[in-house]
Amino acid sequence: MSLYLPKDYRNLLGGIEQTEKAIKAVKDMFQDNLSAQLALLRVTAPMTVLSGTGINDDLNGVERPVRFPVRSLDERPAEVVHSLAKWKRLKLAELRITPGRGIYTDMNALRPDEDLDNLHSIYVDQWDWEKVIWEEDRNLDFLKRTVRRIYEAVKVTENKLYVEFPQLEPALPDEICFIHAEELLQRYPTLTPKERENAIVREHKAVFIIGIGGKLSDGTIHDGRAADYDDWSTPNSDGYEGLNGDILLWNPILESAFEISSMGIRVDAEAMRRQLRLREQEWKADLYFHRRLLAGELPQTIGGGIGQSRLCMFLLRKAHIGEIQSSIWPEDMRAACRAAGIDLA
């Protein structure tokens, strides 16, 4: 999306001090709620990983990581993470976490190729989480149960926040709606993927779109997803493909669908081979992470990321992510936001 300036926008929390207090309240409450819902242990995570290991997240395959040589490692290149999708699975194997339990961490990333707007910054902060599951949990019902638990953590946070800040009235529905990306295409065949999201989320207010990354009947994909973490190609019990998806909420300030999480059941060896072939990336099978997964050395998992600034932005009814986090913004964006009553950090 390009920059959107809501008409008659006002900061419901007043000054910066109240906003900062509310940001802390959201982060403290939500991570406690999330860890309780999913049985997660907090761990410390890296900001950098070595290049050429396959550990970093390729996102859509075109974004450039911030890369630099490390003098003490004979100038071996390292890079700032895009996310921790694969690192978490390695960590679970290292910790020997048993099925039913998992980890979460504060992930801080740099994505210099982002198009800056209300939702996107070059600085990304999210709760990255990953949980060990049994082989028999690799199914759509288990995915939906996990999504409902995450949604419950969001709702509990929204309700508790209302107690401390009564000007922030709860707006989320009791239940989250599930729909596959192919069903969405069939329902709105003349709309773009983003327009489909707006249409369905405007109606239901909270939606989980299944099968992000897999090819649809018109030959397109709903949105990009890497081949080596989310499983978007395994047939599911609804007759479609994919065991992953995105959580989207209706944002009344921006009047649009608002993604807060990308998540899913992760690839097993069979799904990874298939998805690498579909993306013509079979060469990745020789990388460190991929070799270990294909050798059966990593546990079966479900996981994802939940945007910290995104969730704060939604719950605090902010119009721009720059009201939550401090980052770099074009001067013309700063000026336009200032004129609209939006103060960027």
Q: Which residues are catalytic?
A: 57, 111, 126, 246, 259, 262
Q: Which DSSP state fits 266?
A: B
- CA-CA distance, 257 to 248, in Å (whole number)? 6
Q: Is 286 left (phi over 0), alpha (psi -120 to 50) or beta?
A: alpha
- CA-CA distance, 54 to 52, in Å (whole number)? 6
Own/partner contacts of 106-110, CB < 8 Å, gap of 24 or more, are 106/45, 106/308, 107/45, 107/81, 107/83, 107/305, 108/47, 109/47, 109/80, 109/81, 109/82, 109/83, 110/66, 110/80
The burial of 273, by beta-carbon neighbours within 10 Å (0-12 exposed, 13-18 middle, 19 or more buried), is given as middle
- Tokens (6 digits) for 303: 């996981």
- CA-CA distance, 239 to 262, in Å (whole number)? 22
- CA-CA distance, 193 to 221, in Å (whole number)? 9
Cβ pair 99, 67 in contact under 8 A: no
Q: Kindly give, in sequence order, each residue whose CB lies less than 8 Å from that of residue 227, ignoring residues fewer than 6 positions away.
A: 267, 272, 275, 276, 278, 279, 281, 284
* Residue among 307, 316, 308, 319 nearest 18 (CA): 316
Element (H, E) at 202: helix 193-204
- CA-CA distance, 122 to 116, in Å (whole number)? 7
Cβ pair 188, 219 in contact under 8 A: no
Cβ pair 215, 43 in contact under 8 A: no
